[in-house]
Homo-oligomer: A and B are copies of this chain.
Amino acid sequence: MTSIGQIFERTVRKFETREQLDSADRQAIYDLPYELHTVEANRYIVREGDRPTRSTLIVDGLAFRQKVTVDGARQILSVHIPGDFVDLEGSLLRYADHNVQALTRCQVALVPRDAIVELIRSRGKVAHAMWIDTLIDGSIYREWIVNVGRRDARAAMCHLLCEFARRLEASGMGSSGGYELPMSQEQLGDALGITPVHVNRILRELDREGLIEREKRFVRVPNWEKLRKVGGFNENYLHLDQVIPRPLSAARA
């Protein structure tokens, strides 16, 4: 689906919405050494405690972060799409504090840690773009806390569906009308902090109410505004329009 020549294409495109890169910056990214691998669905990409020597870039497919409590309950923390580095932390922190798993079969590019560290050191603007990425990830985590902490299952599910819709749409992988959501009901439960049985009931309820229409794992959203409202979804936290303000000048949006 994604040819070799375009491995870093999505990443560069994303970074360019975050910081004005020059051609040397772009080239430095394109020049990153990497090794392509295929990871089957559900296989681990990073394990808690790992001290990885390579960072993983998702080229194709979806992946998710998760953590397991001492008594075995799993909590999904975020979902990632092509163009995302899923363990930059591995290059910058000592060890991984959580797991990363492939949601679907993934094509990933493994980039040596040293190359990432050198890129960061030598290309300030690229580093800046990556940093902004981690800030936005942080913002998404915060909203996720609100979702599991303060919304009931129905609202939380709608919110989650809205988030996926907007993020997939923004990256050209679906429309506001509908999209493929390749998660099992158990995984949805792990994302929302509820049981799969309850996920099932909520989904059917939303279906019955006409808030969504399902066909296998394809979700159609007949009335975006209604779904948005039930989920209390406000997309600001995704910072989809994020562009770095020009330094030292009062840039206007």
Complex Cα distance, B73 from A93, in Å, reads 34
For A193, list chain B residues within 8 Å (CB): 148-150
Contact of B97 with A236 in the complex, beta carbons under 8 Å = yes
CA distance A89 to B48 in the complex (A): 27
CB distance from A154 to the nearest CB of B (A): 12
Instruction: Determine whether the beta carbon of A145 is less than 8 Å from that of B143.
Output: no
A40 within 8 A of B: no
A interface bracket (residues with beta carbon within 8 Å of B): 35 or more
Stretch at the interface among A114-122, A208-216, A217-225: A114-122
In the docked arrangement, what's the CA distance between A77 and B138, Å?
11
Is there contact, CB below 8 Å, between B124 and A121? yes
Complexed CA–CA distance, A144 and B132 (Å): 21
Known contacts A89-B135, A141-B138, A142-B67: does B94 contact A245 (CB below 8 Å)?
Answer: yes
A241 at the A/B interface (Cβ < 8 Å)? yes
Q: For the complex, is A247 an interface residue (Cβ under 8 Å from B)?
A: yes
- Asked if A168 CB lies within 8 Å of chain B CBs, one says no
Interface string of A3-20 (1 = CB under 8 A from B): 000000000000000000
